[in-house]
A and B are shown apart, each in its own frame.
Chain A
């Protein structure tokens, strides 16, 4: 148990569906992240929230929409996805303070399949 919980663990959706991924951290951290991991590729940072404010959006398509209502919860809203969006979506959190170290703690991920 890492202190970061992601739900659901698995999700299958059609291209016209709307779904949301949820992440919750119990570590008292104040930065949260969404990553995408495709097979045999590096983790791709999608969004960063620091103190609930979005600070990075690495050119992610608008069909992915993040929401961070407080420093413990993070959502990723999905709509009109494409089959190439099928991947493992990971949430992470960290404590802002020593930026250089930036040790991030990860949830187990949501395995998303878009049909």
Chain B
């Protein structure tokens, strides 16, 4: 049973508009959440993270929102740019989990010019 789910395999957004990527989780013990971005032929790269004691974290065009009661987090990208086209992975961890991250299956974001 997947503890971290990204239910949209792909998302297409017009350049300049907002991209919203969603992630749901089932384990209430998760205390840290991370978003990674992956281009073809490259490994995932860290994008932004959020602690479970917060509900929002912002870094430039990227904002992550956490709704603990709904066990849901989202990544907002605004404005979307062609270089944002990539696969986005959501991951979660527990403080005493011996360094393990639990990953979602990813959402492929396509930015249309």
Contact = CB atoms under 8 A, between A and B. Distances in A.
B101 A104 contact: yes
Interface in B67-113: 89, 91, 93, 95-106
Which of the listed residues A41, A55, A99 has the most CB atoms from chain B within 10 Å of its own CB?
A99
**B interface bracket (residues with beta carbon within 8 Å of A):** 20 to 34
A4 B49 contact: no
Contacts of A34: none
B26 to A, nearest CB: 13
A50 B91 CA distance: 20
Interface stretch (A13-21, A63-71, A74-82, A88-96): A88-96
B99 A42 contact: no
A96 B46 contact: no
B44 A56 contact: no
Given A99-B95, A100-B51, A90 B32 contact: no
